[in-house]
Amino acid sequence: MNEPATAIEAAVAASPLHQLKDELDIVIPTIRNLDFLEMWRPFLQPYHLIIVQDGDPSKTIKVPNGFDYELYNRNDINRILGPKASCISFKDSACRCFGYMVSKKKYIFTIDDDCFVGKDPSGKAINALEQHIKNLLSPSTPFFFNTLYDPFAEGADFVRGYPFSLREGVSTAVSHGLWLNIPDYDAPTQLVKPLERNTRFVDAVLTIPKGTLFPMCGMNLAFDRQLIGPAMYFGLMGDGQPIGRYDDVWAGWCIKVICDHLGLGVKTGLPYIYHSKASNPFVNLRKEYKGIYWQEDIIPFFQQVVLPKDCTTVQKCYIELAKQVKEKLGKIDPYFDKLADAMVTWIQAWDGLNPTSASFSNGKIG
Q: Is residue 341 part of a domain?
A: yes
Residue 1 lies inside a defined structural domain of this protein: no
Q: pLDDT digit string (tens) for 271-283?
A: 999 999 989 999 9
**Do the domain assignments include residue 318?**
yes
Q: Cα–Cα distance between 101 and 300 in angstroms, integer?
A: 29
* Within-domain flag for 212: yes
- 215 in Cβ contact with 262 (< 8 Å): no
- List 268's β-bridge partners, or say none: 176, 206
CB 253, CB 217: distance < 8 Å: no
CA distance 213 to 220: 18
Q: What is the DSSP letter of 30?
A: E
CA 130, 184, 326, 332: dihedral to nearest 10 degrees? 170
**Which residue in 351, 260, 265 sits closest to 307, CA to CA?**
260
pLDDT of amino acid 204:
97
pLDDT attached to residue 363: 37
Residue pLDDT tens, the chain, 366 long: 445 455 555 555 556 556 688 999 999 999 999 999 999 999 999 999 999 999 899 999 999 999 999 999 999 999 999 999 999 999 999 999 999 999 999 999 999 999 999 999 999 999 999 999 999 999 999 999 999 999 999 999 999 999 999 999 999 999 999 999 999 999 999 999 999 999 999 999 999 999 999 999 999 999 999 999 999 999 999 999 999 999 999 999 999 999 999 999 999 999 999 999 989 999 999 999 999 999 999 999 999 999 999 999 999 999 999 999 999 999 999 999 999 999 999 999 999 999 987 643 333 333
Structural domain contains residue 199 = yes
pLDDT of residue 6: 55
- Give which of 249, 257, 318 is closest to 288, Cα–Cα: 249
> Residue 33 has what pLDDT?
96
Domain count, the chain: 1
pLDDT reported for residue 357: 72
Residue partners of 38: CB distance under 8 A and separation at least 6: 64
Rounded alpha-carbon distances, angstroms, from residue 60 to 7, 26, 31, 47, 67: 34, 20, 9, 22, 16
In degrees and rounded to multiples of 5, residue 183 shows phi and psi of -70, 165
**pLDDT tens readout for residues 251-273:** 999 999 999 999 999 999 999 99
Query: Could you give the angle at which helices 37-44 and 5-14 cross, rounded to 10 degrees?
Result: 40
12 assigned to some structural domain: no
Residue 2 lies in a domain: no
Angle 334-353/74-81 helices, nearest 10 degrees? Answer: 70
What is the structure's pLDDT at 364? Answer: 36
End-to-end CA distance of the chain: 54
Specify the CATH number for the domain of residue 70.
3.90.550
Whether residue 291 is contained in a domain is answered as yes
Question: 90 pairs with which residues across the strands?
Answer: 238
Find, among 103, 105, 89, 87, the residue nearest to 51 by Cα.
103
Show the domain range for 198.
Answer: 21-353
Q: Please, what is the Cα angle at 325 between 103 and 140, to 5 degrees?
A: 55
Sign for the CA dihedral angle at 255, 98, 88, 41 comes to positive
Model pLDDT, residue 21: 85
User: Can you give the pLDDT at residue 2?
Assistant: 45
